[in-house]
Amino acid sequence: MTFEKHILCIGAGYVGGPTMAMIAFKCPRYKVTVVDINPGRIAEWNSDHLPIYEPGLDEIVRATRGKNLFFSTDIEKGIRESEIIFVSVNTPTKTFGAGAGMAADLQYWDKTARQIRTYATSNKIIVEKSTLPVKTAQAMKRILTSEANGIRFDVLSNPEFLAEGTAVRDLEKPDRVLIGSTQTPNGLRARDVLVEIYANWVSKDRIITSNIWSSELSKLVANAFLAQRVSSINSISALCEKADADIEEVARAVGMDSRVGGRFLNASVGFGGSCFKKDILNLVYLCRYYDLKEVADYWEGVVKINDYQKDRFLLKILDALFNTLADKRICLFGFAFKADTGDTRESPAIFVARQLIEEKARVVITDPKALKNAMKDMEGVAGDIAYVEDPYVACEGCTAIAVMTEWRTYAALDYERIYRTMAKPAFIFDGRNILDHRKLFEIGFNVFPIGKPSLTHF
């Protein structure tokens, strides 16, 4: 069959994989190829066990793989064949040199631009999917056009707003698709090509266009705003605990103002995930670079409150357990950074688990999807750590349970049964406020929610 368009994506990660699967699913007339430098990852995408867990993803990959969706390690062929190239390689926080701990590490990005330049034999539209510092498109364009080989490269910015756990739904029914381009005739023509791809399933009023710098910056700002909401509510949760107020009641009252809105106001042990912290630090770095100290400090506060919230959670456990955790078994319910994903990047559970080990506690970790990643995250940490799939078994002999991830299954467990097998006095620290605290208290637990008065038998 001859395809109408050939699309390539470089980077088969959490963003590239699902996004391309959706394009292939919605556009059978296009051939979509996803390449990656990691052959193991490509092999997994070609197997029955995809490298990432996302509700609904298996189905769309099964429906398209081998028909118009292909996973491959042949980057050169992919580049040659495609007229549109999405770049979705990772852009982690820099760990070395200038801007270490803050700025984005653009080495993979830079290498990918050079790869495209080397292998391209015809004009290409390059689409930035990765989250990048503003003005990256300019650097990309300069690298691509630094050899006068007569090939035209148009660079577009098309940030991905999907959230993990709901990636398929977010891709299928996005709040908006954002496409930034230069405002030249060629830039606008390239932009229209990308608009037409999305218009296969997204209504045109949800496809918004902008200048390329606004688009790059909007992604950083969108994540900063979302994270700021979580830090705002978490900061107030600390006050609620002192003032005998209830954070859920406060969030409801505040969120019902339609100007504020009720979503993303769940107090928690802290936000995690690969994006929030990285993107805010990136924004902070950019502001400092442009000498905007006050703006940088303002946004840095969002990350500081998040660190404070994780610390507070740990100190609360320590305080409640009579200031010593040595030899006590503590069970972490969930290790993923949020429910419905196996991803543990920047999960607050990593911090809590490590601190518990520092305090010489014995840590038992359970999670329906993230145990493999949890083992990797805890590699090299010397201490007593067990990984147990069954939450009932995981709790046996434990003094405390700490809920780290809002998996729905944890709310539905038989806590009378769990209570019977635990050491006494038994404690629950609900880092996600998903359990029935009153009922747990009546069973006999000492209960410590976030942003609400604790319920104790002492």
Closest separation in Å from C-beta 87 to ligand UDX: 9
Nearer to ligand UDX, 125 or 269 (CB): 269
Distance CA 66, CA 440 (A): 51
CB of 309 to ligand UDX, least distance (A): 9
CB of 272: closest distance to ligand UDX in angstroms?
Answer: 4
Least distance (Å) from ligand UDX to the CB of residue 109?
A: 8
Give the nearer residue to ligand UDX in terms of CB position, either 163 or 199: 163
CB of 55 to ligand UDX, least distance (A): 13
- To the nearest whole angstrom, how small is the minimum distance from the Cβ of residue 172 to ligand UDX? 15
Closest CB to ligand UDX among residues 29, 372: 372
Specify whether the CB–CB gap between 418 and 392 falls below 8 A.
Answer: yes
Specify the residue, 337 or 410, whose C-beta has the smaller distance to ligand UDX. 337
Pick between residue 446 and residue 448 the one whose CB is nearest to ligand UDX.
448
> Least Å distance between CB 10 and ligand UDX?
5
Q: Considering the complex, state which of residue 230 and residue 356 has its C-beta at the smaller distance from ligand UDX.
A: 230
Contact positions vs ligand UDX (CB under 6 A): 10-16, 36-38, 41, 88-91, 108, 111-112, 130-131, 160-164, 223, 226, 230, 264-266, 268, 271-276, 337-338
Residue 275 designated active-site: yes
Of 275, 287, 331, 398, the catalytic one is 275
* Rounded Cα–Cα distance for residues 65 and 69 (Å): 5
The closest residue (CB) to ligand UDX is: 13
State how far the Cα of 47 lies from the Cα of 64, in Å rounded to an integer: 13
Strands ordered across the beta sheet of 153-157: 69-72, 30-35, 5-10, 84-87, 124-128, 153-157, 177-181, 207-211
Q: Indicate the Cα dihedral angle 52, 53, 56, 60, nearest 10°.
A: 20
How would you write the chain as a 3-class SS string? CCCCEEEEEECCCCCHHHHHHHHHHHCCCEEEEEECCCHHHHHHHCCCCCCCCCCCHHHHHHHHECCCEEEECCHHHHHHHCCEEEECCCCCECCCCCCCCCCECCHHHHHHHHHHHHHCCCCEEEEECCCCCCCHHHHHHHHHCCCCCCCCEEEEECCCCCCCCCHHHHHHCCCCEEEEECCCHHHHHHHHHHHHHHCCCCCHHHEEEEEHHHHHHHHHHHHHHHHHHHHHHHHHHHHHHHHCCCHHHHHHHHHCCCCCCCCCCCCCCCCCCCCHHHHHHHHHHHHHHCCCHHHHHHHHHHHHHHHHHHHHHHHHHHHHCCCCCCCCEEEEECCCCCCCCCCCCCCHHHHHHHHHHHCCCEEEEECCCCHHHHHHHCCCCCCCEEECCCHHHHHCCCCEEEECCCCHHHHCCCHHHHHHHCCCCCEEEECCCCCCHHHHHHHCCEEECCCCCCECCC
Which CB atom, from 158 or from 446, has the smaller least distance to ligand UDX? 158
Strand-pair category, 177-181 with 207-211: parallel
Q: Give the Cα separation of 268 and 229 in Å (integer).
A: 12
Q: Which is nearer to ligand UDX, 325 or 365 (CB)?
A: 365
Shortest Å distance, C-beta 219 to ligand UDX = 7
Kindly state the smallest distance separating residue 75's Cβ from ligand UDX, in Å: 7
Q: Which residues are catalytic?
A: 275
